[in-house]
Amino acid sequence: MAKKGENIYKRKDGRWEGRYIKGRSKTGSIKYGYVYAKKYKEVKTKLIVMKAGLIEKENQKSEEKLLKEWCDFWFEYEVKPAVKSSTYAQYQWLCLAYIYPFFENCYLHNVTKDDIQRFINSLEKQNLASGTIRNIFTLLKKILISAKNNDLLKGSPYKKIRLPHKKKKMLSALSRSDQRKLEIVALKEKGCSPIILSLYLGLRIGEVSGLKWSDIDFKNEIVYIKRTVSRVKTSLKTENKTNIIISSPKTEQSYRIVPLSKKILYYLIEKKKNSDSEYVVACRSNLAEPRVIRYRFKSAVKKAGIPDVHFHILRHTFATRCIEMGTDIASLSRLLGHTSVKMTLDIYTDSMLESRKKIVQRLDQLMIDESIATTPEYFQDS
């Protein structure tokens, strides 16, 4: 058999075989166990699990493992190869900040539904947002499901857990008056303004930060959204310790093509002439990370004399203006890079109220007048 790696061989039948020491006989001789798979990577993963003593094998009991120990393995061999670096960092942060402290001395096979419910209750007492609590629970559930799939957890203690109700945020857009005031300030910026890009292309702050001139097809008047920039927490020891991560867009749908209007196209052409950076929105000839963009935005809001708002309101304003101008929801969903039309409807259902009112008013014109409907002549004519 051809050997590759430590105790991993390719058999003549094409399968890969991994060998591990599962114990010793009474005489002290080594007893081997074996794992098999069609792919080398699969055997390597199985072998690591076996060597770590994590899986029960026949009558042999697996070594009791703390939940944290399983998490470390899960992160390294299941999460890291499968998710973006920003997602990986976010998962690790949630574990370090919330999951590990609560389940610090808890053995994996002893985790119960009551333990998980107490955990959720403790998060509520910390006044965390319902969405944050649900994200933490989703992460814990993924960890436990993986453990269950590897025969480390009996039952499904993560089922029927009471979670805090989702609190629907009332999304507001800038009024047309405040939008104009902000635009006047933004258009005075020497470089390309992230405010203009978000207001008229609907880009997220990370997408604005990662946008390069090479992503813009000036000839065909379109822009490709290919990357996003985020700043994530990486340590509990230093409260403000964060790292900048450049990665692919948020979801597959976030990787998209956005058409450029004539005015925005002309604006970008003019700004490119004086740019000394490969990035559209720059800071010292390099990319302007989200924190810099937020700082500049706060300054612009103050100069414009409008109420203090978050940068993300620009994206909501873009969507609201599109709805007001009669844009169909499917096209809007694609422009925003949402995962589904349903997501767009859920977010902007209140913004569409005025559109629904106009529809009802149009239908009202079809209804016959009551005074006419009660006359005999009406029915004769019909």
Q: Which CATH number fits the domain that encloses residue 263?
A: 1.10.443.10
Same domain, 32 and 88: no
Same domain, 207 and 332: yes
**What is the average pLDDT across 313-335?**
90
Residues whose CB falls within 8 Å of the CB of residue 61, separated by 6 or more in sequence, listed in order: none
pTM tops 0.95: no
Is there a domain that residue 283 lies in?
yes
Q: If you search the block for the tokens 């020491």, which residue do you land on?
A: 21
Instruction: Count CB atoms within 10 A of the CB of residue 301.
Output: 21
Q: Which of 250, 260, 261 is nearest to 343 (CA)?
A: 250
CB 133 within 8 A of CB 143: no
Is there a domain that residue 7 lies in?
yes
Give the residue numbers spanning the domain of 114. Answer: 67-149
157: helix, strand or coil: coil
Q: Is the pLDDT of residue 353 over 70?
A: no
Number of domains in the chain: 3
Same domain, 320 and 280: yes
Instruction: Count CB atoms within 10 A of the CB of residue 172.
Output: 14
Q: State pLDDT tens for residues 242-298.
A: 788 888 776 777 889 999 999 999 999 999 999 999 999 999 999 999 999 999 999
Is there a domain that residue 159 lies in?
no
109: domain CATH number is 1.10.150.130
Is there a domain that residue 290 lies in?
yes
Q: Is the pLDDT of residue 346 over 70?
A: yes
- pLDDT level of residue 57 (50, 70, 90 thresholds): very low
pLDDT in the model for residue 80? 85
Q: Is the pLDDT of residue 195 over 90?
A: yes
Same domain, 45 and 84: no
- Which residue intervals of 110-226 are DSSP H helices? 113-125, 130-149, 176-186, 194-201, 205-210
Q: What number of H helices and E strands is found in the chain?
A: 17, 11
Q: State pLDDT tens for residues 64-114.
A: 678 988 898 888 888 888 888 888 888 988 999 999 999 988 888 889 999
